[in-house]
């Protein structure tokens, strides 16, 4: 399995991506098509589920934003289900290794995947994807919506987004940006940024933005675009430079960080959505138990406060359902396919 070569070299060559990413971020894609065939699970009896430990698979490295959100909800979800939830990080290929593994797991509710926007972009990005996001998975519900930030190493010369643009334009061959693999949110955001400024930069790929953040803090890479769930503490501590948030409004937990729009790059608008999945064929009763536990976890005070402190928010109860989740996934697949195919054909 490998990403399309031309796309690997440069994805997102059109300004249209900016507009569509904004739609993606708000879940307002024009390709809405209703719930897909996987809704409803495989029927059958939950049979006392769960009677043992459940594993949540995270498709990126420990310590990164997807891992953070997963570990945050695993506690209250485990409490709601009356069983412990363990978190396992299965890194690689922009999250597709983990998704492929969960697609092959027993459809018994004991192996659950947490994934983000990358679930919808992978079918267009990877030629021989080992799974179909709609056919091979049963959705449980959406989890969070998370803004992104453009940040730089503490000793990286530029101090503002305008200075960053000037600097990277003048030093395109030497400036490096970190991302978490083809299809990762950090990659899409960085490509959108490059498209907006018309400059192609040198990518430093990681298996998650947890380790990418370590190297940014160490000055081994110059900048990256990443979710506020991974960047807020470092920004507030002054350990990295924050150039902009990629949302239309400022983020409450980062009141001093301007939006890309304020800085003259309003087309760089990116948001990340997360959802939980089990293998297709999982009995309805198990799906319902997981959805109910998710909905309970999203009302947990600690979950709400922690996410707010990190610039994010849980979705509303009506979005933490298989139907809403499948609709978002379908919309996003439809949204991204033509963009990615057009970029691949260049
Ligand atoms: C991404 O860029 O998609 C994420 O930051 C990946 C991660 O959770 O590490």
Q: Domains, the chain, ranges and CATH? A: 5-21+147-245 (3.40.190.10), 32-145+273-344 (3.40.190.150)
Q: Which atom of ligand 1 is the closest one to the Cα of 58?
A: 8
CA distances from 96 to 17, 100, 114, 119, 223 (A): 22, 6, 12, 8, 24
Which pLDDT does position 21 carry in this prediction? 39
CB of residue 185 inside a 6 A radius of ligand 1 = yes
Nearest residue (CA) to ligand 1, atom 6: 208
Torsion of CA 120, 115, 82, 230, to 10 degrees: -140
**Ligand 1 centroid – CA 51 distance (Å):** 32
pLDDT in tens, 37-58: 233 344 445 579 999 999 999 9
Q: Name the pLDDT band for 19 (thresholds 50, 70, 90).
A: very low
Judge contact between 313 and 72, C-beta under 8 A: no
Is 233 a residue whose pLDDT tops 90? yes
Is the C-beta atom of 94 inside 6 A of ligand 1? no
The residue among 168, 196, 188, 209 whose CA lies nearest residue 67 is 209
* Peptide bond preceding 331 in cis form (omega within 30 of 0): no
208 pocket-lining for ligand 1 (C-beta < 6 Å): yes
The reply to whether ligand 1 has any atom less than 6 angstroms from the CB of 184 is yes
Q: What are phi and psi of 262, to 5 degrees?
A: -55, -35
Which pLDDT score, from 0 to 100, does residue 124 have? 82
- Å from CA of 171 to ligand 1 middle: 26
CA 40 / ligand 1 centre spacing (Å) = 29
Which of 74-78, 137-141, 199-203, 238-242 comes out lowest in average pLDDT?
199-203
| pLDDT at res. 276 | 98
Tell me the CA distances in angstroms from 98 to 101, 109, 160, 278, one per residue in order.
Answer: 5, 16, 37, 12
CA dist 253 and 139 (Å) reads 30
Closest approach atom of ligand 1 to CA 226: 5
Q: Which atom of ligand 1 is nearest to the CA of 230?
A: 5
Nearest Cα to Cα of residue 40 among 278, 269, 264, 263: 278
**Degrees, nearest 5: CA angle 56-227-258:** 160
Q: Taking the model in full, what pTM does it have?
A: 0.86
Residues 199, 91, 105: CA angle, nearest 5 degrees: 135
Share of the chain above pLDDT 70, in %: 84
65 lines ligand 1 (CB under 6 A): yes
- Mutational test site, ligand 1, from 66, 121, 193, max ligand atoms within 8 Å of CB: 66
* Cα separation of the two ends of the chain: 21
Best residue among 186, 229, 270 to mutate for probing ligand 1, ranked by most atoms within 8 Å of CB: 186
């Amino acid at each position: 399995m490998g990403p399309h070569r031309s796309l690997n070299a440069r994805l997102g060559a059109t300004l249209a991506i900016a507009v569509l990413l904004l739609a993606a971020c708000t879940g307002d894609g024009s390709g809405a098509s209703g719930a897909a065939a996987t809704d409803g699970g495989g029927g059958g009896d939950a049979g006392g589920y769960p009677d043992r430990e459940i594993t949540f698979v995270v498709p990126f490295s420990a310590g990164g934003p997807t891992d953070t959100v997963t570990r945050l909800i695993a506690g209250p979800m485990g409490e709601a289900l009356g069983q412990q939830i363990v978190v396992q990080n299965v890194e690689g290929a922009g999250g597709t290794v983990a998704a492929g593994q969960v697609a092959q797991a027993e459809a018994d509710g004991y192996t659950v995947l947490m994934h983000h926007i990358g679930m919808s972009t992978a079918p267009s990005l990877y030629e021989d994807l080992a799974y179909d996001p709609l056919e091979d998975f049963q959705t449980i519900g959406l989890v969070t919506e998370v803004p992104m930030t453009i940040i730089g190493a503490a000793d990286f010369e530029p101090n503002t987004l305008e200075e960053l643009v000037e600097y990277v334009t003048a030093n395109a061959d030497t400036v490096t940006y970190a991302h978490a693999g083809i299809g990762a949110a950090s990659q899409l955001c960085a490509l959108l940024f490059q498209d907006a400024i018309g400059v192609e930069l040198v990518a430093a790929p990681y298996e998650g933005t947890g380790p990418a953040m370590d190297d940014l803090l160490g000055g081994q890479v110059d900048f990256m675009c990443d979710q506020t769930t991974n960047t807020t503490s470092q920004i507030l501590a002054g350990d990295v430079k924050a150039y902009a948030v990629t949302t239309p409004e400022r983020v409450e937990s980062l009141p001093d960080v301007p939006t890309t729009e304020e800085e003259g790059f309003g087309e760089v608008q990116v948001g990340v959505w997360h959802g939980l999945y089990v293998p297709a064929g999982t009995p309805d009763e198990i799906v319902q138990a997981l959805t109910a536990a998710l909905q309970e976890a999203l009302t947990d005070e600690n979950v709400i406060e922690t996410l707010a402190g990190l610039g994010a928010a849980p979705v509303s109860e009506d979005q933490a359902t298989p139907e809403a989740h499948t609709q978002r996934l379908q919309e996003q697949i439809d949204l991204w396919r033509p963009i990615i195919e057009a970029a691949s054909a260049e």
